[in-house]
Structure 1
Amino acid sequence: MAPCRREVTRGRAVAAGVRNRRWQAAVGLAVLAAATGGALSPPASADGAEPPGRPPGPVDFRTQCLPPQEAGLPPADGTSTARITVADPAPRVGDTVTVTYRLAATPAVNPRAGELPADVLTPTGRVLLAGAQSGEVTVVGTRRNEPVGEGGQLPAVTMTGTFTVTAPGETTLAPGGYTLHTGGPTVEDTVCTPAEAGAPPVSARLTATPLPAANLRSVALGAAQGTPGARVEVTGAGFAPGAVVTVAGRAGAAETADRAAATADAHGGVRAQLPVTDRSTTAVVAYEGAAWSARLGSGPAAYTVVEAAPPQPGTQQLSAVVEPGALAMTQTGEDVSLGAVPYGDGGAAPGRIATVTVKDARGGPAGWSLTGRVTDFTGPGGVRIPGASLSWTPACTAAPGSPSPCTPGSAGAVGPDGAVLASTPDAPLTGGTFTVDANVSLQVPPYTPPGGYTALLTLTLS
Structure 2
Amino acid sequence: MGFTTRRRRWGTLLGATALAVTAGGALACPAQAGTDVQFATHCIPPAIAGLPPIDGTTTANITVDDPTPDVGQTVTVTYTVVQPAASNPTAINLPADIMTPSGKVVLGGDQTGTVTVTGPKKNDPVAGNAPFPSFSMTGTFTVTHAGSITLSPGDYNIHTSYLLELDTPCTVTNPPAPVSQTVTATDVPVPNTRAIQLGSASGNPGDSVTVTGQNFTPGATVTLVGRSGSAQTADTATVTANASGAISGPITVNDKTTTGIVAYEGAAWSDSLGAGPAAYTVIDNTPVPDGSQKLTTTVRAGSLSMSQTGDTVGLSPVDYGKGGASTGNLNTVTVQDFRGGPAGWSLTGKVTDFTGPGAKIDAGALSWTPACTTKAGSPSTCQAGSAGTVGSLGATLASTPNGTLTGGEFTVDAGLSLNVPAYTPVGTYSGVLTLTLS
Q: Would the TM-score normalized by the shorter structure come out above 0.5?
A: yes
TM-score, L = length of structure 1:
0.58
Query: Which residue among 400, 419, 423 is the counterpart of 1:445?
Result: 423
Please say if 1:292 is aligned against 2:277: no
2:434 aligned with 1:434? no
* Partner amino acid, structure 2, of 1:453: G
* Distance in structure 2 (CA, Å) of the matches to 1:64 and 1:374: 41
C-alpha contact 2:382 2:399 (8 A) present in aligned 1: no
1:243 has 2:217 as partner: no
Q: Who is 1:234 aligned against? A: 211
Residue 306 of structure 1 corresponds to which residue in structure 2? 283
What one-letter code is carried by the residue in structure 1 that aligns with 2:353?
A: V
Conserved? CA contact 1:58–1:83, under 8 Å:
no
Structure 2 counterparts to residues 270-419 of structure 1, below 5 A: 270-311=247-288, 313-323=292-302, 325=304, 331-333=310-312, 338-341=317-320, 346-348=321-323, 351-353=326-328, 355-357=330-332, 364=343, 367=346, 369-375=348-354, 377-378=356-357, 387=361, 391-400=365-374, 402-410=381-389, 418=392
Return the alpha-carbon distance in structure 2 between the equivalents of residues 385 and 65 of structure 1. 35
Output the amino acid matched with 2:330. T
Aligned partner of residue 444 in structure 1, secondary structure:
coil
Amino acid corresponding to residue 239 of structure 1 in structure 2: F
Distance in 2 (alpha carbons) for counterparts of 1:206 and 1:339: 27
Aligned to 1:24: none
Deviation per residue, 1:106-154 (Å, 9 max, x gap):
236589x9xxxxxxxxxx9987476678756799xxxxxxxx9984435
Which residue of structure 1 aligns with residue 431 of structure 2? 457
Distance 2:328 2:103 in 1: 29
Which segment is superposed worse, 263-272 or 100-109?
Answer: 100-109
- Structure 1 residue 259: deviation in Å? 1.0
Relative distance call for 1:408 and 1:101 in structure 2 (3 A) is same
CA contact (8 A) 1:408 1:422 kept: no
- Cα deviation, 1:70-113, whole Å, max 9, x if unaligned, reads xxxx9x966524354779988642678797857564236589x9
Q: How does 1:248-259 map to 2 (within 5 A)?
A: 248-259=225-236
**Cα deviations by residue, 1:404-445 (Å, 9 ceiling, x for unpaired):** 43122249xx7xxx5756545795469955323313343333
Q: What amino acid sits opposite 1:238 in the alignment?
A: N
What is the distance in 2 between the residues matched to 1:270 and 1:223?
A: 16
Distance 2:240 2:359 in 1: 52
Q: Distance in 2 between matches of 1:154 and 1:389?
A: 37
Following TM superposition, by how much is the alpha carbon of 1:210 offset from its aligned partner in structure 2, in angstroms? 2.7
Q: Describe the superposition over 1:160-197 as per-residue Cα deviations: whole angstroms up to 9, x where unpaired.
A: 99979643358663436699xxxxxxxxxxxx985449
Which residues of structure 1 form unaligned runs of 5+?
1-35, 41-56, 67-73, 114-123, 140-147, 180-191, 379-383
C-alpha displacement of 1:369? 4.0
CA-CA distance at 1:371 after TM superposition: 2.8
CA–CA distance in structure 1, aligned partners of residues 281 and 325 of structure 2? 55
Amino acid at match of 1:325: L
Q: 1:95 touches 1:410 (CA, 8 Å); kept in 2?
A: no
CA contact (8 A) 2:385 2:397 kept: yes
| CA–CA distance in structure 1, aligned partners of residues 112 and 412 of structure 2 | 33
Counterpart Cα distance in 1 of 2:221 and 2:208: 20
Taking only the aligned residue pairs, the percentage that are identical comes to: 30
Query: Which residues of structure 2 form unaligned runs of 5+?
Result: 1-23, 29-36, 92-100, 120-125, 159-166, 376-380
C-alpha contact (below 8 Å) 1:298/1:364 kept by paired residues: no
Alignment map for 1:34-433 (pairs within 5 Å): 39=27, 59-62=39-42, 79=56, 80-82=58-60, 84=62, 92-93=70-71, 103=81, 105-107=83-85, 109=87, 128=105, 151-153=129-131, 166-168=143-145, 173-175=151-153, 195-196=170-171, 201=176, 204=179, 208-311=185-288, 313-323=292-302, 325=304, 331-333=310-312, 338-341=317-320, 346-348=321-323, 351-353=326-328, 355-357=330-332, 364=343, 367=346, 369-375=348-354, 377-378=356-357, 387=361, 391-400=365-374, 402-410=381-389, 418=392, 423=397, 428=402, 433=411
Counterparts of 1:231 and 1:287, CA distance in 2: 19
Deviation of the 1:300 alpha carbon? 1.0
Query: Which structure has the greater CA radius of gyration?
Result: 2
Number of residue pairs matched by the alignment: 358
